[in-house]
Structure 1
Amino acid sequence: MSASPSPADLYRRSLRLLLEKDIAGWVGLWAEDGVMEFPFAPDGWPERLEGKEAIAAYMRHYPDHIDLRDFPTVRIHTTTDPEVIVVEMRGTGRLVRTGEPFDMTYVAVVTVVRGRITSYRDYWNPLAVATRPGADFTRSLR
């Protein structure tokens, strides 16, 4: 039996899958009971997604709205808990509908247990995109 990937290695793989627009593959990295949280979610947006199915439904149309092209900055910090990492990163690309640039900075706190993501707290600012012209995709991500 092979060892599970480290949280940092699994996270790097998740970024490659997002760049490949392989949402099914990305969701496949999650535990069945995984939880995704958005601490800065504005009114009307989900604050917490419970379970792999809810996460899959939320992410299903992501590539139809944001064409991620690169993560030019990724800093993965280990913690005193070997299952938890803190990630600082920047994602760039284009808004599909308008072609406008997409440039977002994120901080994520991610827990990986037995090679699966069990918790992901995503500290991104959805309002930075929602206020852009042509950003009507935000309705479909709610």
Structure 2
Amino acid sequence: MKTNPNQGQALFQTLLDAFNQDWQTVIDLFTDDAFIEYPYAPSIGVPARFNKDNYRAHLQSILPQMPGIAFSNVRVYPLQQPYTYWAEVHGETTMPATGNLYRQDYVMFFTIAGNQFSSYREYWNPVAFLQASGQDNLNTHLIKS
């Protein structure tokens, strides 16, 4: 079975657009048994893995902190394994609480089932979030080697 690159590209773009709508629009793009992972998130006190219900609560908290995030340089790469993709994207927004510019380069790995995400892993730099959110003492948040 061959992966349709347009299917992954279209669903990923729908997800990026949904981040600027509301949490419900985002959550509807995931299967009921989906899992969402942020491997670097524990370094700033956020869980590394969410089920759909936990992800809903996370979105309700985080989306208001990053309104109107503009995405650019969107690239989606279909893999040999069916319905599996890598993606890269740059995001920017001004955080309302601080007025600081948040800039982030993301790398995502995801699988889809039908027209929904069944797994989604997002890699990002925790330091960029901490700086934009005005947290001055970065060393208290970073994992010690």
What TM-score comes out, normalization by structure 2 length? Answer: 0.81
| Cα offsets for 1:87-118 (capped at 9, x unmatched) | 01100111111221111000000111111111
Note the aligned Cα RMSD (angstroms).
1.9
Task: Tell me: CA distance 1:30–1:65, structure 2 relative to 1, closer, same or farther (3 Å).
Answer: same
Give the CA deviation at 1:39.
Answer: 1.5
Structure 2: give runs of 5+ residues left out of the alignment. Answer: 1-5, 137-145
CA gap 1:49/1:103 in 2 versus in 1, 3 angstroms: same
Deviation digits for residues 8-56 of structure 1 (CA, Å, limit 9, x no counterpart):
211111111113x322101100011110111222163201112x11111
Amino acid at match of 1:11: F
- The structure 1 segments of at least 4 consecutive aligned residues displaced by more than 3 Å after TM superposition are none
- For 2:60, the aligned partner's letter is R
Q: Where does residue 59 of structure 2 map in the other structure? A: 59
Name the structure with the higher helix share.
2
- Map 1:16-55 → 2, pairs under 5 A: 16-19=17-20, 21-41=21-41, 42=43, 44-50=45-51, 52-55=52-55
Distance 1:36 1:133, change over 3 A: closer
Mark the runs of 5 or more structure 1 residues left unpaired by the alignment: 137-142
Name the residue aligned to 1:15.
Answer: 16
2:142 aligned partner: none
For the 8 Å contact 2:44–2:126, the answer to whether it is kept is: no
- Structure with the higher fraction of residues in strand conformation: 1
C-alpha contact 2:38 2:47 (8 A) present in aligned 1: yes
Query: What's the CA shift for 1:131?
Result: 3.5
For normalisation by structure 1, the TM-score amounts to: 0.82
Kept in 1, the 8 Å contact 2:38–2:121? The answer is yes
Instruction: Give the number of aligned pairs.
Output: 130
Distance 1:96 1:128 in 2: 15
Residue 61 of structure 1: SS of its match in structure 2?
A: helix
